[in-house]
Structure 1
Amino acid sequence: MANSPSARKRIRQTERRTAVNKARRSRIRTFIRKVEEAIAGGDQSAALEALRAAQPEIMRGVTKGVFHKNTAARKISRLARRVKMMAAGAADAQA
Protein backbone atom coordinates (compact mmCIF):
# COMPACT_ATOMS: atom_id res chain seq x y z
CA MET A 1 0.00 0.00 0.00
CA ALA A 2 1.15 3.53 -0.73
CA ASN A 3 2.73 5.26 2.25
CA SER A 4 4.06 8.55 0.95
CA PRO A 5 1.70 11.51 0.53
CA SER A 6 2.52 11.78 -3.18
CA ALA A 7 1.71 8.11 -3.74
CA ARG A 8 -1.61 8.52 -1.93
CA LYS A 9 -2.40 11.52 -4.09
CA ARG A 10 -1.60 9.54 -7.25
CA ILE A 11 -4.03 6.84 -6.10
CA ARG A 12 -6.78 9.44 -5.66
CA GLN A 13 -6.05 10.95 -9.07
CA THR A 14 -6.04 7.54 -10.73
CA GLU A 15 -9.42 6.68 -9.20
CA ARG A 16 -10.92 9.91 -10.53
CA ARG A 17 -9.45 9.43 -14.01
CA THR A 18 -10.59 5.82 -14.08
CA ALA A 19 -14.16 6.85 -13.31
CA VAL A 20 -14.15 9.54 -16.01
CA ASN A 21 -12.61 7.22 -18.62
CA LYS A 22 -15.07 4.46 -17.76
CA ALA A 23 -17.98 6.85 -18.32
CA ARG A 24 -16.52 8.01 -21.64
CA ARG A 25 -15.91 4.44 -22.81
CA SER A 26 -19.47 3.50 -21.88
CA ARG A 27 -20.87 6.50 -23.78
CA ILE A 28 -18.86 5.60 -26.88
CA ARG A 29 -20.01 1.98 -26.70
CA THR A 30 -23.62 3.21 -26.56
CA PHE A 31 -23.14 5.21 -29.76
CA ILE A 32 -21.53 2.20 -31.46
CA ARG A 33 -24.35 -0.07 -30.28
CA LYS A 34 -26.95 2.30 -31.80
CA VAL A 35 -25.22 2.01 -35.18
CA GLU A 36 -25.05 -1.77 -34.92
CA GLU A 37 -28.73 -2.00 -33.93
CA ALA A 38 -29.74 0.14 -36.92
CA ILE A 39 -27.65 -2.10 -39.20
CA ALA A 40 -29.23 -5.21 -37.71
CA GLY A 41 -32.67 -3.65 -38.14
CA GLY A 42 -31.97 -3.05 -41.81
CA ASP A 43 -32.70 0.69 -41.63
CA GLN A 44 -29.97 2.33 -43.69
CA SER A 45 -30.98 5.94 -43.06
CA ALA A 46 -31.07 5.36 -39.30
CA ALA A 47 -27.71 3.56 -39.49
CA LEU A 48 -26.21 6.46 -41.43
CA GLU A 49 -27.51 9.01 -38.90
CA ALA A 50 -26.25 6.92 -36.00
CA LEU A 51 -22.85 6.60 -37.68
CA ARG A 52 -22.65 10.36 -38.18
CA ALA A 53 -23.39 10.84 -34.49
CA ALA A 54 -20.93 8.13 -33.43
CA GLN A 55 -17.91 9.30 -35.45
CA PRO A 56 -17.18 12.51 -33.51
CA GLU A 57 -17.86 10.73 -30.24
CA ILE A 58 -15.33 8.00 -31.07
CA MET A 59 -12.72 10.56 -32.15
CA ARG A 60 -13.36 12.53 -28.95
CA GLY A 61 -12.36 9.38 -27.11
CA VAL A 62 -9.02 9.57 -28.91
CA THR A 63 -8.37 13.16 -27.90
CA LYS A 64 -9.27 12.33 -24.29
CA GLY A 65 -6.94 9.34 -24.24
CA VAL A 66 -9.60 6.63 -23.93
CA PHE A 67 -8.77 4.97 -27.27
CA HIS A 68 -5.71 4.86 -29.48
CA LYS A 69 -6.25 6.70 -32.76
CA ASN A 70 -5.79 3.54 -34.83
CA THR A 71 -8.37 1.72 -32.74
CA ALA A 72 -10.88 4.52 -33.31
CA ALA A 73 -10.09 4.65 -37.03
CA ARG A 74 -10.59 0.89 -37.28
CA LYS A 75 -13.95 1.02 -35.48
CA ILE A 76 -15.21 3.89 -37.65
CA SER A 77 -13.97 2.20 -40.82
CA ARG A 78 -15.67 -1.10 -40.02
CA LEU A 79 -18.96 0.56 -39.10
CA ALA A 80 -18.88 2.72 -42.23
CA ARG A 81 -18.18 -0.33 -44.40
CA ARG A 82 -21.13 -2.18 -42.88
CA VAL A 83 -23.45 0.79 -43.47
CA LYS A 84 -22.19 1.08 -47.04
CA MET A 85 -22.79 -2.64 -47.62
CA MET A 86 -26.41 -2.06 -46.61
CA ALA A 87 -26.73 0.31 -49.58
CA ALA A 88 -25.24 -2.28 -51.91
CA GLY A 89 -27.57 -4.92 -50.52
CA ALA A 90 -30.60 -2.68 -50.99
CA ALA A 91 -29.58 -1.90 -54.57
CA ASP A 92 -29.18 -5.61 -55.31
CA ALA A 93 -32.61 -6.34 -53.86
CA GLN A 94 -34.27 -3.70 -56.09
CA ALA A 95 -32.50 -4.75 -59.28
Structure 2
Amino acid sequence: MAHSRSAKKRVRQSDKRRIVNRALKARFRSQMKKVLVLAKAKGDGVQKEYRELVSWLDKAAAKHVIHKNAASRYKSRVAAKIKSLAAAAK
Protein backbone atom coordinates (compact mmCIF):
# COMPACT_ATOMS: atom_id res chain seq x y z
CA MET A 1 0.00 0.00 0.00
CA ALA A 2 1.20 3.48 -0.82
CA HIS A 3 2.34 5.57 2.12
CA SER A 4 3.68 8.84 0.74
CA ARG A 5 1.54 11.49 -0.95
CA SER A 6 3.30 11.02 -4.27
CA ALA A 7 2.84 7.24 -4.15
CA LYS A 8 -0.87 7.67 -3.42
CA LYS A 9 -1.15 10.05 -6.36
CA ARG A 10 0.59 7.54 -8.62
CA VAL A 11 -1.93 4.89 -7.55
CA ARG A 12 -4.80 7.23 -8.44
CA GLN A 13 -3.24 8.04 -11.81
CA SER A 14 -2.59 4.39 -12.57
CA ASP A 15 -6.20 3.50 -11.80
CA LYS A 16 -7.51 6.22 -14.12
CA ARG A 17 -5.14 5.23 -16.92
CA ARG A 18 -5.98 1.55 -16.55
CA ILE A 19 -9.68 2.29 -17.02
CA VAL A 20 -9.05 4.41 -20.13
CA ASN A 21 -6.62 1.88 -21.60
CA ARG A 22 -9.01 -1.01 -21.05
CA ALA A 23 -11.81 0.94 -22.74
CA LEU A 24 -9.61 1.65 -25.76
CA LYS A 25 -8.55 -1.98 -26.04
CA ALA A 26 -12.13 -3.17 -25.73
CA ARG A 27 -13.19 -0.70 -28.42
CA PHE A 28 -10.73 -1.85 -31.05
CA ARG A 29 -11.22 -5.52 -30.21
CA SER A 30 -14.99 -5.23 -30.63
CA GLN A 31 -14.44 -3.31 -33.88
CA MET A 32 -12.13 -6.10 -35.06
CA LYS A 33 -14.81 -8.70 -34.37
CA LYS A 34 -17.36 -6.56 -36.18
CA VAL A 35 -15.15 -6.36 -39.28
CA LEU A 36 -14.49 -10.11 -39.32
CA VAL A 37 -18.17 -10.96 -38.87
CA LEU A 38 -19.09 -8.63 -41.73
CA ALA A 39 -16.39 -10.14 -43.92
CA LYS A 40 -17.58 -13.69 -43.22
CA ALA A 41 -21.18 -12.69 -43.92
CA LYS A 42 -20.05 -10.95 -47.13
CA GLY A 43 -21.84 -7.86 -45.89
CA ASP A 44 -21.59 -4.41 -47.34
CA GLY A 45 -19.49 -1.85 -45.58
CA VAL A 46 -16.54 -4.08 -44.72
CA GLN A 47 -14.07 -1.51 -46.04
CA LYS A 48 -15.75 1.28 -44.10
CA GLU A 49 -15.61 -0.73 -40.88
CA TYR A 50 -12.00 -1.72 -41.61
CA ARG A 51 -11.05 1.95 -41.93
CA GLU A 52 -12.75 2.58 -38.58
CA LEU A 53 -10.72 -0.27 -37.07
CA VAL A 54 -7.49 1.17 -38.47
CA SER A 55 -8.37 4.51 -36.92
CA TRP A 56 -8.93 2.94 -33.48
CA LEU A 57 -5.72 0.94 -33.71
CA ASP A 58 -3.73 4.01 -34.66
CA LYS A 59 -5.23 5.96 -31.77
CA ALA A 60 -4.35 3.17 -29.34
CA ALA A 61 -0.79 3.06 -30.68
CA ALA A 62 -0.44 6.84 -30.49
CA LYS A 63 -1.49 6.78 -26.83
CA HIS A 64 0.90 3.88 -26.12
CA VAL A 65 -1.93 1.55 -25.15
CA ILE A 66 -0.47 -0.94 -27.61
CA HIS A 67 2.86 -0.90 -29.41
CA LYS A 68 2.87 0.60 -32.91
CA ASN A 69 4.15 -2.68 -34.34
CA ALA A 70 1.29 -4.53 -32.65
CA ALA A 71 -1.17 -2.13 -34.28
CA SER A 72 0.47 -2.73 -37.63
CA ARG A 73 0.33 -6.48 -37.10
CA TYR A 74 -3.39 -6.37 -36.23
CA LYS A 75 -4.13 -4.28 -39.33
CA SER A 76 -2.16 -6.62 -41.56
CA ARG A 77 -3.78 -9.77 -40.22
CA VAL A 78 -7.31 -8.41 -40.47
CA ALA A 79 -6.68 -7.16 -44.02
CA ALA A 80 -5.32 -10.56 -45.02
CA LYS A 81 -8.33 -12.28 -43.48
CA ILE A 82 -10.73 -9.97 -45.34
CA LYS A 83 -8.87 -10.62 -48.58
CA SER A 84 -8.92 -14.40 -48.14
CA LEU A 85 -12.63 -14.41 -47.29
CA ALA A 86 -13.38 -12.25 -50.33
CA ALA A 87 -11.37 -14.58 -52.56
CA ALA A 88 -13.13 -17.64 -51.15
CA ALA A 89 -16.51 -16.06 -51.89
CA LYS A 90 -15.73 -15.77 -55.60
2:45 is paired with a residue whose SS is helix
The two structures have a TM-score, normalised by structure 2, of: 0.89
SS for the counterpart of 1:61 is helix
Preserved contact between residue 35 and residue 47 of structure 1 (Cα < 8 Å): yes
Aligned to 1:88: 87
Fraction of identical pairs, as percent: 36
Q: Which residue of 2 aligns with 1:40?
A: 40
1:24 aligned partner: 24
Unaligned runs of 5+ in 2: none
Distance 2:85 2:45 in 1: 11
- Kindly name which structure, 1 or 2, has the bigger radius of gyration based on alpha carbons: 1
Q: 2:77 maps to which residue?
A: 78
Conserved in 2, the CA contact under 8 Å of 1:24 and 1:61? yes
CA distance in 1, matches of 2:48, 2:85: 14
- Matched residue pairs, number? 90
